[in-house]
């Protein structure tokens, strides 16, 4: 199976972060600049309006002001950029533990185990972009391909706020016509040398004799030839640390507003299945169930309840979530998004106080069945075995369902 790699690149990152706390910057050409007194007077980032004046990252402030006299200069706040970078990565960790940062504003994700194919990958990428907008007021571009180099190329291909897919079937027709310096690690100097041998596009580079490139550019010639021919097999690094998991939650903004109990019930079933599967994956159980509802006006409602005993079972999670919904929602407004979370998690093998009201034999049978289903889905692909509620949800085209098979995201608000 071909790998499915994401490259997520935040658009105009430093400038976008500054615009969160300074909305007035959104309507004027603005650049984040280095400390002029400390002789770091260069443009670190610019917004889209400044970009239209031809202002470039790393150029001197005086050059930028010459292009746009009304350019607003904002000082850099690196602690802010690091904070949002950390929060974005925490979001990505909810999809995969293979998250490799490439600077503060870019990350590769190995999504091979999270997607069945490139179509589903594109839907999940679109979902991530919407989450980033809603939760952080930032935009990002996502490139998807079967290796890291082409995924990075995809995130640069169309900006801002876009998803680009280069599959193993169409990459040559899309990528080979692009300029050679669009390829990662082809800088100005290398591009100048390539131009001397009439290599101007990625296709030119791919079709050049490999041994000749090695003689001409040394080891870099071999690397670039392999990149141009789609032969990059470098892995996405596993996150260097695993954060302590304190809760596991999924939420979704549905394609259309939910206006009925049936729509909410189906969505809660799917969310509960996803939460339960992830709890079992991490060998955890939840002791508190929380729901979060946002109506069409983005008014938020949150409720929670303590469970009688810890659980990693979808049915138990759904029953508690639905009970919370029924007792808290009056349908004065339609629902835009809904989430389910298991909080105060404990290790699955931790001892629990047994109850005379619990059918222990049935509980153990259910637990074994859940693990068998997890194993089958991991081996043959997500959704091979689904609950009746999930199957009905997927077939009912009139119901407000999330885009894609399982594009739900773990909520980690701050």
The verdict on whether 106 is a catalytic residue reads yes
Whether pLDDT at 407 is above 50: no
Pair 14, 105 in one domain: yes
8, 101: one domain: yes
The H or E element containing residue 284 is strand 284-295
399 pLDDT above the threshold of 70: no
Kindly state whether residues 367 and 303 are assigned to the same domain. Answer: yes
9 lies in the same domain as 42: yes
Do 275 and 387 sit in the same domain of this protein? yes
Rounded to an integer, the average pLDDT of 12-36 is: 92
pLDDT tens-place string over residues 116-157: 999 999 999 999 999 999 999 999 999 999 999 999 999 999
For the chain, what is the domain count?
Answer: 3
Which one of the listed residues 18, 100, 106, 390 is annotated catalytic?
Answer: 106
Q: Which two tokens stand for residue 308?
A: 């009688």
Distance CA(283)–CA(293), nearest Å, equals 27
Q: Of 69, 66, 64, 68, whose CA–CA distance to 33 is shortest?
A: 64
What local confidence, expressed as pLDDT, does residue 92 receive?
94
Q: Is pLDDT at 375 greater than 80 in this prediction?
A: no
Residue 162 has pLDDT above 60, yes or no: yes
Per-residue pLDDT reduced to its tens digit, 82-113: 999 999 999 999 899 899 999 899 999 999 99
> In CATH, what number is assigned to the domain containing residue 146?
3.30.70.270
Over 60: is that where the pLDDT of 190 sits?
yes
* CB-CB contact of 380 with 317 (8 Å): no
Residues 175, 368: Cα–Cα separation, whole Å: 48
In the chain, % of residues over pLDDT 70: 81
Give yes or no for residue 397 having a pLDDT over 50.
no
Residues 275, 354 share a domain: yes
Residue 379: pLDDT over 70: no
Task: Give the integer Cα–Cα distance in Å for 201 and 182.
Answer: 9
- The pLDDT score that the predictor gives to residue 238 is 82
Cβ neighbours around 324 below 10 Å, total: 21
306 pLDDT above the threshold of 60? yes
Residue pair 340/317 in contact by the 8 Å Cβ criterion = yes
For residue 356, pLDDT beyond 70: no
387 confidence band (pLDDT: 50, 70, 90)? low
Q: How far apart are CA 337 and CA 295, in angstroms?
A: 7
Same domain, 161 and 184: no
CB atoms within 10 A of CB 212: 12
Report residue 70 CA to chain centroid gap: 36
Q: How many residues are given for the chain?
A: 414
Higher per-residue pLDDT: 36 or 295: 295
* CB of 312 closer than 8 Å to CB of 306: no
Write down the pLDDT at residue 39: 42
Spatial distance between the Cα atoms of 105 and 10, rounded to a whole number of angstroms: 5
Q: Which residue has the tokens 């802010």?
A: 80
pLDDT at 385 over 50: yes
User: Do 208 and 259 lie in a common domain?
Assistant: no
Q: Is 70 exceeded by the pLDDT of residue 34? A: yes
Whether residues 185 and 163 share a domain: the answer is no
Give the model's pLDDT for residue 219.
Answer: 92
Average pLDDT over residues 365-371: 64
pLDDT band (50, 70, 90) for residue 389: low
Q: Establish if 239 belongs to a structural domain.
A: no
DSSP-derived 3-state class of residue 353: coil
Per the prediction, the chain carries an average pLDDT of 86
- ∠137-5-135 over CA atoms, to 5°? 15
Q: Check whether 383 has a pLDDT greater than 70.
A: no
Flag the least confident range among 149-158, 244-253, 283-292: 244-253
- Of the ranges 9-13, 17-21, 36-40, which one carries the lowest mean pLDDT score? 36-40
Domain of 220 in residue numbering reads as: 176-228
Quick one: pLDDT band at residue 299, thresholds 50, 70, 90? confident
- In this predicted structure, the answer to whether residue 266 has a pLDDT above a threshold of 50 is yes
In a domain, 236, yes or no: no
Residue 362, pLDDT score = 62
- The pLDDT assigned to 4 comes to 97
Mean pLDDT to the nearest integer, 386-393: 56
One domain, residues 117 and 197? no
pLDDT at 54 over 90: yes
- Strand 140-145 with 5-10, pairing: antiparallel
The verdict on 282 and 261 lying in the same domain is yes
Mean pLDDT on 337-344: 92
Domain boundary residue among 154, 169, 184? 169
Question: What are the backbone angles phi and psi of residue 319, rounded to the nearest 5°?
Answer: -60, -45
Please indicate, yes or no, if residue 237 is contained in any of the structural domains: no
The model's confidence at residue 2, banded by pLDDT at 50, 70 and 90, is confident
Q: Residue 298 — very low, low, confident or very high, per pLDDT cuts 50/70/90?
A: confident
**Token pair of 297 as six digits:** 């006006």
* CA pair distance 170, 329, nearest whole angstrom: 48
> Which of 36-45, 232-241, 281-290, 324-333 is the least confident region?
36-45
CATH number at residue 208: 1.10.150.20
């Amino acid at each position: 199976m071909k790998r499915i790699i994401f490259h997520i690149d935040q658009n105009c990152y430093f400038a976008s972060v500054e615009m969160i706390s300074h909305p007035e910057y959104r309507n004027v050409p603005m650049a984040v600049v280095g400390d002029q007194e400390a002789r770091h007077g260069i443009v670190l980032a610019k917004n889209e309006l400044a970009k239209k004046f031809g202002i470039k990252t790393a150029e001197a402030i005086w050059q930028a002001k010459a292009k746009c006299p009304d350019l607003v200069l904002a000082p850099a706040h690196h602690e802010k950029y690091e904070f949002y970078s950390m929060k974005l990565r925490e979001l990505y960790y909810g999809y995969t533990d293979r998250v490799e940062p490439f600077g503060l504003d870019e990350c590769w994700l190995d999504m091979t185990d999270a997607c069945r194919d490139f179509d589903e990958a594109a839907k999940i990428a679109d979902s991530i972009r919407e989450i980033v907008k809603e939760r952080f007021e930032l935009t990002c571009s996502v490139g998807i391909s079967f290796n890291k180099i082409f995924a990075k190329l995809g995130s640069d291909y169309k900006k801002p706020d876009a998803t680009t897919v280069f599959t193993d079937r169409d990459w040559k027709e899309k990528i080979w016509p692009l300029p050679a310096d669009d390829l990662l690690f082809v800088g100005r100097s290398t591009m100048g040398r390539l131009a001397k041998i009439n290599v101007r596009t990625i296709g030119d580079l791919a079709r050049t004799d490999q041994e000749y490139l090695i003689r001409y550019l040394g080891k870099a010639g071999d690397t670039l030839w392999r990149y141009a021919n789609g032969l990059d097999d470098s892995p996405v690094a596993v996150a260097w640390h695993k954060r302590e998991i304190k809760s596991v939650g999924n939420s979704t903004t549905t394609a259309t507003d939910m206006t009925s109990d049936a729509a909410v019930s189906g969505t809660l079933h799917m969310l509960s299945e996803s939460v339960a599967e992830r709890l079992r994956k991490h060998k955890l159980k939840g002791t508190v169930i929380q729901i979060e509802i946002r109506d069409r006006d983005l008014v938020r409602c949150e409720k929670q309840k303590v469970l009688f005993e810890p659980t990693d079972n979808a049915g138990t999670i759904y029953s508690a979530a639905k009970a919370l919904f029924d007792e808290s929602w009056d349908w004065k407004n339609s629902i835009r998004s809904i989430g389910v979370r298991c909080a105060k998690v404990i290790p699955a093998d931790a001892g629990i106080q047994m109850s005379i009201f619990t059918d222990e034999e049935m509980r153990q049978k259910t637990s074994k069945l859940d693990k068998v289903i997890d194993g089958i889905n991991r081996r043959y692909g997500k959704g091979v075995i689904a609950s009746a509620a999930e199957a009905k949800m997927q077939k009912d085209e009139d119901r407000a369902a999330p885009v894609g098979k399982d594009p739900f995201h773990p909520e980690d608000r701050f």
